[in-house]
Structure 1
Amino acid sequence: MPTALRLLHALSPEHRDRLMSVAREVSFPADGQIFEAGGTADRFWVVRSGTVSLYQQVIADRRITVAQLGPGDLLGWSWLFRPHTWDFGAEAFSPVRAYEFDAGEVRTLFDQDPTLELSLTRTVGAILAHRLETTRAVLIEHYARHGGSR
């Protein structure tokens, strides 16, 4: 999947309009925590401006940034799959503006339009496949450089 795949652009205009009907605009300050691994995943975002760092905590006092997300990128997918807990942490690297989507409201849209659910799930799946490849490469590079030590 090319890195240019953006959630909102991948949807049909009808599906995009339906999804955007439940969006709200939010912002996060630079260095602001957006969510932590293990927390309840009850929403997701599409970044409008700024940069978000996705990270994995590898030991208590050490974390690895596995991705940098920018305008147009999906932030958060764990809301879509049980047990609905975050697998990574996310922090605003710079001031961030985003569209926020409440997972419950989106699931209500899914009940009304199963084709929206299929389209959104397939698009998120494609984004996840790319992120998995990227994360694996980052972790391999990190451990090759550091020999698996701190």
Structure 2
Amino acid sequence: MELGREVSFPAGTRIFEEGQRADRFWVIRTGTVDLDIHVPGRRAAVVETLGAGRLLGWSWLCPPHQWHLGAGATSPVEAWEFDAAEVGVLRERDPELDRALLTYVVEVIGGRLRAARTRLLDLYGPYGSGPER
């Protein structure tokens, strides 16, 4: 937490865009953020909404360090922001922290992939994400 700094985003703010350079992440304190994915020829599809206590951003950890989704504040957001390079130095010095952080982020990635799959099936699949008919 010593590396975190308090930031805020007004409702309607785009926090990051899919494909942009990912060099930081946030832990949401208050408010909500929609994660969305670009869909050619359509509006971006919201795949998950994050609230207090949730990690916003994991792409900083994986090459090529570009956001895999976009994010926008749907209400006023207060968060702790962390610089990926600073966290990287700390991870190199502390293998236990590195292991714990990687384990946590992998769990987050798995959850986000499941949420994105379910949401996209609901929006564009012939039968949604429900049971096969």
Fold similarity call, TM over 0.5 = yes
> Residue type of the partner of 1:142?
L
1:81 paired residue number: 62
Q: Deviations over 1:40-62 (max 9, x none)?
A: 10000000000000000101552
Identity over aligned residues, as a percent? 50
Could you tell me which of 100, 116, 127 is aligned with 1:119? 100
1:44 paired residue number: 25
Q: TM-score, normalised by structure 2?
A: 0.92
1:9 paired residue number: none
Q: TM-score, normalised by structure 1?
A: 0.82
More helix by share: 1
- Give how far 1:35 is off: 0.2
Structure 2: how far apart are the matches of 1:120 and 1:129?
14
Structure 2: how far apart are the matches of 1:95 and 1:51?
7
- Give how far 1:111 is off: 1.4
Structure 1: how far apart are the matches of 2:113 and 2:7?
27
Structure 2: how far apart are the matches of 1:105 and 1:60?
38
Structure 2: how far apart are the matches of 1:124 and 1:57?
23
> Residue type of the partner of 1:105?
E
Q: Secondary structure at the match of 2:65?
A: coil
Structure 2: how far apart are the matches of 1:144 and 1:120?
34
Map 1:1-150 onto structure 2 (within 5 A).
Answer: 20-144=1-125
Give the unaligned 5+ runs of structure 2.
129-133
> Residue type of the partner of 1:72?
G
Q: Deviations over 1:60-115 (max 9, x none)?
A: 55210000000000000000000000010000000000000000000010111011
Give the unaligned 5+ runs of structure 1.
1-19
1:13 paired residue number: none
Moved over 4 A (4+): none
> Residue type of the partner of 1:106?
V
- Give how far 1:134 is off: 1.2
Structure 2: how far apart are the matches of 1:34 and 1:146?
33
Q: How many residues align?
A: 128
Structure 1: how far apart are the matches of 2:25 and 2:16?
10
- Give how far 1:144 is off: 3.0
